[in-house]
Structure formats: structure tokens, C-alpha cells
A and B are shown apart, each in its own frame.
Chain A
Amino acid sequence: GAGVSQTPSNKVTEKGKYVELRCDPISGHTALYWYRQSLGQGPEFLIYFQGTGAADDSGLPNDRFFAVRPEGSVSTLKIQRTERGDSAVYLCASSSGENTEAFFGQGTRLTVV
């Protein structure tokens, strides 16, 4: 596609449920990032993929959060046993390589009720 695509755009889930958020990066981009933006804050880094491997997952807040990128393209962010504090906009970005611009998707707004 022309840009980074994230689905769904909005997700409402009940506390304790499991959710998956999907990111389709720009075709050919090897680097993929997930960020989380809480209300009134700037985005915070969660995880970085180079190809299929998670090269840096230091931003994942706890073991309820996990992300995969099995074929080096689409990525899924998975959140188990969701909590109200997980409510935020989850942003995905991709780039073509080192020292290059990261292009962001429009995000998935997750609301845990």
C-alpha cells in the first residue's frame, strides 16, 4: 500500500480480554516500530523489528504485551488480560533502513472498559 495501514482504527474491549492490533508497513520497509501514545502524551517506544526478529523490545511494559512479525512484513501487537491502563493509541511506523525517516500509520485507539 501507499502508507502504513493499521487495523482496526478503533477497538473497545472489556478488562481482562485479549486483543490483537495489526500493522501493514509500507511495502519493502524492513524496519517496523510500535509506539504507544497515552492521552496528553507523546508517543512512547514499545518495540522494534528488523525483518522478522524483534531487535529491541525494551519498551514493552510487561509480559502481557507481545508482538510478532513472522514473515517480515505485517506485524501484530498482542495484549493479554487487558487493563484499563492499556487504553491508548497504538502507533505503528516503518522505515526503509538506517537513518531514514519513519512513516507512521494513523494508529489504533484501544479503549479498555
Chain B
Amino acid sequence: AQSVTQPDIHITVSEGASLELRCNYSYGATPYLFWYVQSPGQGLQLLLKYFSGDTLVQGIKGFEAEFKRSQSSFNLRKPSVHWSDAAEYFCAVGMFSGGYNKLIFGAGTRLAVHP
């Protein structure tokens, strides 16, 4: 069955430090992969997505993610974290079948940023 695992429930980093959020997926075919961010009281906002091509994907707000097929991973990175990045981050795999996109989400990683 398709699944997404985010091993870190909660991560704390200092402002200006680098960040890596882990994501592993289980999917039989070539995956479509996404990272979303959810701030308190806000909806989910798409940070970046991978469909095909270059395995290093650039997104909004200075985030990037790298698809590694051999490791079934799609880790999210940012070289320098800002206090405004504190939020919950969700990795998702998209099951495109029959012309639509069903997203399977991980449980999320909550990011706290120390000043």
C-alpha cells in the first residue's frame, strides 16, 4: 500500500541554521511528490513538487527538495531558516490515476525556530 513516513515529529533549529526535513515514501510506480506547509489557522500551501526530470527541485520561500529513487526519499532542505518558517510541514505522494490526483500525506513535522 502507498504510504509516506516523516520520521521526525518535531524539529527545533536556530534562526539562520540549515534545515533538512526527512520524507520516505512507499509507492509501486514512479511517484509524484509534494511538500506542503501549514501555518496555524492557515490552509495547506504548496512549497514544491516533483513530477519528473531533474531530481533537485526548487520551490518557494528558498526551499528545495531532492528525489532519491534508490532511497525512496524526498527530503526538504533550506540553507538558512527564518523565524517565519516555523510551521508544520507535510510530505505527500500523489496517486495520479484516471485523470485525478489523490494525495497521501505523511503525519507531518512541526518546525520550531529559535531566535
Top 10 A-B residue pairs of the complex, sorted by shortest distance between their CB atoms: A42-B105, A104-B44, A104-B43, A106-B43, A98-B99, A43-B105, A42-B107, A42-B90, A45-B102, A42-B108
Residue of B41, B43, B45, B92 touching A42 (CB-CB under 8 A): B92
Task: Determine if B46 is an interface residue (Cβ-Cβ < 8 Å).
Answer: yes
Once A98-B96, A99-B51, A106-B41 are accepted as A-B contacts, the answer to whether A45 and B46 lie under 8 Å apart by CB is no
Task: Determine if A62 is an interface residue (Cβ-Cβ < 8 Å).
Answer: no
Once A42-B106, A101-B49 are accepted as A-B contacts, the answer to whether A95 and B42 lie under 8 Å apart by CB is no
Contact present for B105 and A44 (CB under 8 Å): yes
Once A55-B98, A99-B96, A101-B49 are accepted as A-B contacts, the answer to whether A107 and B43 lie under 8 Å apart by CB is yes
Task: Determine if B104 is an interface residue (Cβ-Cβ < 8 Å).
Answer: yes
The closest CB in chain B to the CB of A47 belongs to B102
* A–B complex contacts, Cβ < 8 Å, 20 sampled: A31-B100, A31-B101, A33-B102, A35-B103, A41-B108, A42-B90, A42-B107, A43-B105, A44-B105, A45-B103, A55-B100, A56-B102, A98-B96, A98-B99, A98-B101, A99-B51, A101-B46, A102-B101, A102-B103, A104-B44
A40-B108, A106-B42 known; 5 other A-B pairs, CB under 8 Å? A31-B101, A50-B100, A103-B46, A106-B41, A106-B43
Contact present for B104 and A45 (CB under 8 Å): yes
Residue of B36, B42, B107 touching A40 (CB-CB under 8 A): B107
Task: Determine if A105 is an interface residue (Cβ-Cβ < 8 Å).
Answer: yes
A33 CA to B92 CA in the complex, in Å?
15
Contact present for A99 and B101 (CB under 8 Å): yes
Contact present for B51 and A43 (CB under 8 Å): no
Interface residues of A in 53-87 (CB under 8 A from B): 55-56
A46 CA to B69 CA in the complex, in Å?
28
Contact present for B49 and A4 (CB under 8 Å): no
**Chain B nearest CB, measured from A2 CB (Å):** 13
A47 CA to B44 CA in the complex, in Å?
17
A56 CA to B98 CA in the complex, in Å?
10
The closest CB in chain A to the CB of B4 belongs to A42
The closest CB in chain A to the CB of B110 belongs to A40
